Amino acid sequence: MSQQDYLEVLFDTDDYTCFGMTKFDINAAKAISTAPPPTQYVSLNPLSGTRADANVSKFRNILIEIDKGSVESQMKWLDKNKVPYSTIVFSGNKSLHCIISLETPLEYSEDYRSLVEDIYFVIDPDSKKIDKSCKNPSRFTRNAEVIRPDKGIIQSLCRVTSRKSLGEVLAWIQKHPNYPKLHKRTTSIKSSEYFRKTMPKAISTHDKNKTSSMSRRAEAFFTYGVSPGQQWRQEAWYACSEAARCGFELAEIYTMLEQVDGYLNPDSTRIPEEAYNKSLTCGEFGIKLNITKTIGDK
């Protein structure tokens, strides 16, 4: 395994990134070349300018830096969690730098940050193992197969596999034992067209007779989530009210809402039940007349 193998997993031939000898270096250079630079750092994601989050051109690579326990125990912990890594590099001191590299980069920074947060949460919900400061997309990570100047030790490439599809990563998250705890958290990974194609369409799994009378607004929400400019809570409440009006049971509505984003927003876990009960007492027109007041109730 070589530094070239490492870089070719993280970057395409036309990508630029920042190679640095100090944490303050910012200038970009070709990521893939015939003579990879022997620098101790490399920026995590491709760049369109100097090293800064605002200049990240592809939201592809996610860093998991473990800084607790022995290196051997860190590797066992990664294996125990079945992390779908693409590369793992030894820092040359006391930590492993694990990177998940996506086959298709995420389109929006919000999607990237949400996915990073969810990955960090499922593998380390108590924040005891990994460095949570590693979440920004332009940060430096350790370059592979070069000598760390201050230690005189090689930053060895421990493992290298391949890029992973977003579907693989999401499936891993959903199978993780800590996944149910994510129902209490927020996610915004839904704007990417790739994500929309990857995730199941919630209403497609339910009774078409019930959905046939559902409004287009509610159907659009259950299929794609919110559009730019819409408020998630308001659209969720409206869509759940519509589902209740169309005859869906409360358990079905919870499932449909959860499938839209993967998990419920923390301030919206009562939406299905509130909407369901409102539909029973107010009927269709009552729901529409009272929606503004209801979504503001605490």
What mean pLDDT is predicted for residues 149-177? 91
- Does residue 181 lie in a domain region? no
* Residue 186 covered by a domain: no
Give the CATH number of the domain where residue 133 resides. Answer: 3.30.70
For residue 116, being part of any structural domain is answered with yes
Domain that holds residue 149: 3-175
List Cα–Cα distances, 167 to 84, 103, 194, 197, in angstroms: 11, 10, 9, 9
Q: Are 112 and 59 in contact (CB under 8 A)?
A: yes
Residue 228: exposure state from Cβ atoms within 10 A (0-12, 13-18, ≥19)? exposed
- 101-112 residue pLDDT tens: 999 998 888 788
Instruction: Answer yes or no: do 148 and 208 share one domain.
Output: no
- Bridge partners of 16, per DSSP, are 30
pLDDT at 6 (0 to 100)? 95
Whole-structure pTM value: 0.65
| Inside any domain, residue 24 | yes
Does a structural domain hold residue 44?
yes
169 lies in the same domain as 282? no
Number of domains in the chain: 2
pLDDT digits over 56-88, tens only? 999 999 999 998 899 999 999 999 999 999 999
Report yes or no on 192 lying in a domain.
no
Find all residues with CB under 8 Å of 213, minimum gap 6, and list them.
246
- Mean pLDDT, all residues of the chain: 81
| 258/143 same-domain check | no
Verify that 220 and 162 share a domain, yes or no: no
Q: How far apart are CA 258 and CA 274, in angstroms?
A: 15
Last residue of a domain, one of 141, 175, 209: 175
| 146, 259: one domain | no
Q: Residues 156, 38: one domain?
A: yes
pLDDT digits (tens, 9 = 90+) for 118-128: 899 899 988 88
Kindly state whether residue 108 falls inside one of the protein's structural domains. yes
Sorting pLDDT into bands at 50, 70 and 90, what band is 266?
low
8 A C-beta contact, residue 259 and residue 198? no
Length of the chain: 298
